[in-house]
């Protein structure tokens, strides 16, 4: 990471730099930001000409990994391993609540005009899918619908793909939560304790385990296939922590996926690896 720090110093605090280098270097830098502990390697092979975006600074984070969206589907083969199962993770489109800064949690959510356009774009750009799953919340189903229609797939909903329950915070803005629940907010975001959201909601760790079990069940049912999953920002980030090895306190090494962004994991007899992260249509 020292080389990136030197580049960042040259371009300034708001600058951007394009670095053309090698797959091993990109993997090593990504691993450093993710603070991998040297155990099982959870990153798939970096594709030729793929793009990885890293924010450098006191709190480095991986914004995108292995973005292959400019490649034809047939060229996206660098991370294929025999009869591996691919899970294409997609966040729902933008909702009215997203735009207003409201915490939705288990509320249904309604796609706004931008969200509907995002869902249509996702339907045009998502990879080949053999099956399609979605959270039962309306914003996820409405995002999956154009994709299902264009690919001739049915949508199978699973309760365990739903967003993290935010308890009493659902329907509130961040400012309202901070002022109304200062002690819980401080416990979570200043002291880093993974307590239930909104007093009676879920924890990051609880959602991570729920999502892990859901994805593992889907993989078991679709061995060797490519399966789409439409879910939610907090739920997907918690699950991805189980793949690359971070928990609640380490979650900020990656952002929540953008609306309708795509991340892909590959499951094989060698384990589960992250192939792409936060790739926008």
Q: Which whole number is the average pLDDT over 98-125?
A: 97
Sign of the CA dihedral running 52, 79, 124, 140: negative
- Domains of the chain plus CATH, in order, are 81-165+202-279 (3.40.50.1240)
- Window from 2-11, 75-84, 125-134, 259-268 with minimum mean pLDDT: 75-84
pLDDT of 177 above 90: yes
CA triple 134-140-142, angle to 5 deg: 110
Residue 212 DSSP code: H
Sign of the CA dihedral running 42, 254, 58, 184: negative
- Per-residue confidence band for 56, with pLDDT thresholds at 50, 70 and 90: confident
User: In this predicted structure, what is the pLDDT of residue 247?
Assistant: 95
Active site (catalytic) residues: 92, 163
Q: Residue 49: which residues within 8 A CB-CB, separation 6 or more?
A: 70, 71
Q: How many CB atoms lie within 10 A of CB 49?
A: 11
Question: What share of the chain in percent tops pLDDT 70?
Answer: 96
- Residue for token pair 């079990």: 213
Task: Write phi, then psi, for 131 (nearest 5 degrees).
Answer: -155, 160
User: Taking a C-beta distance cutoff of 8 angstroms, is the pair 65, 52 a contact?
Assistant: yes
Radius of gyration of the chain (CA): 19
As a whole number, the mean pLDDT across the chain is: 93
Q: Which whole number is the average pLDDT over 71-93?
A: 79
pLDDT of 144 above 60: yes
pLDDT of 190 above 60: yes
User: In this predicted structure, what is the pLDDT of residue 79?
Assistant: 54
Print the SS3 string covering 138-190.
Answer: HHHHHHHHHHHHHHCCCEEECHHHCCCCCHHHCCCEHHHHHHHCHHHHHHHHC
pLDDT of 239 above 90: yes
User: In this predicted structure, what is the pLDDT of residue 269?
Assistant: 86
């Amino acid at each position: 990471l020292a080389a990136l720090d030197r580049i960042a110093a040259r371009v300034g605090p708001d600058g951007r730099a394009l670095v053309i280098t090698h797959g091993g270097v990109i993997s090593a830098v990504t691993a450093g930001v993710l603070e991998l502990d040297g155990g099982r390697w959870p990153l798939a092979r970096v594709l030729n000409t793929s793009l990885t975006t890293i924010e450098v600074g006191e709190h480095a984070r991986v914004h995108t990994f292995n973005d292959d969206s400019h490649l034809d589907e047939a060229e996206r083969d660098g991370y294929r391993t025999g009869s591996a199962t691919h899970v294409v993770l997609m966040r729902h489109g933008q909702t009215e609540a997203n735009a207003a800064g409201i915490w939705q949690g288990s509320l249904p959510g309604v796609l706004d005009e931008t969200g509907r356009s995002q869902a249509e774009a996702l339907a045009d750009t998502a990879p080949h899918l053999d099956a399609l799953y979605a959270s039962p919340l309306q914003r996820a189903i409405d995002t999956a619908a154009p994709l299902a229609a264009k690919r001739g797939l049915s949508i199978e909903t699973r309760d365990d793909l739903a967003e993290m329950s935010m308890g009493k915070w659902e329907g509130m803005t961040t400012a309202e939560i901070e002022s109304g629940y200062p002690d819980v907010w401080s416990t979570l975001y200043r002291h880093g304790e993974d307590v239930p959201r909104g007093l009676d909601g879920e924890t990051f760790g609880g959602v991570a385990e729920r999502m892990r079990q859901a994805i593992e069940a889907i993989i078991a049912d679709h061995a060797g296939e490519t399966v789409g999953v439409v879910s939610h920002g907090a739920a997907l980030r918690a699950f991805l922590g189980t793949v690359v090895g971070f928990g609640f306190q380490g979650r900020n090494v990656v952002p929540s996926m953008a609306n309708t962004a795509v991340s892909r994991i590959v499951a094989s007899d060698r384990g589960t690896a992250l192939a792409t992260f936060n790739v926008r249509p």
